Amino acid sequence: MRSFRAKPYENAKLYLGELTWVDVEEFLKKHQTVIVPVGSCEQHGPHLPLDTDAYDAFWLSMKAAEKAQCALVAPPIYCGVSSHHMDFRANSL
Q: How far is CA 69 from CA 6, 7, 13, 50, 65, in A?
A: 21, 18, 10, 30, 6
DSSP-derived secondary structure for 8-43: S-S-GGGBGGGS-HHHHHHHHHH--EEE--EE----
| Whole-structure pTM value | 0.75
Dump pLDDT digits (tens) for 13-51: 899 988 999 999 999 999 999 999 999 878 777 888 888
Dump pLDDT digits (tens) for 47-65: 888 888 889 999 999 999 9
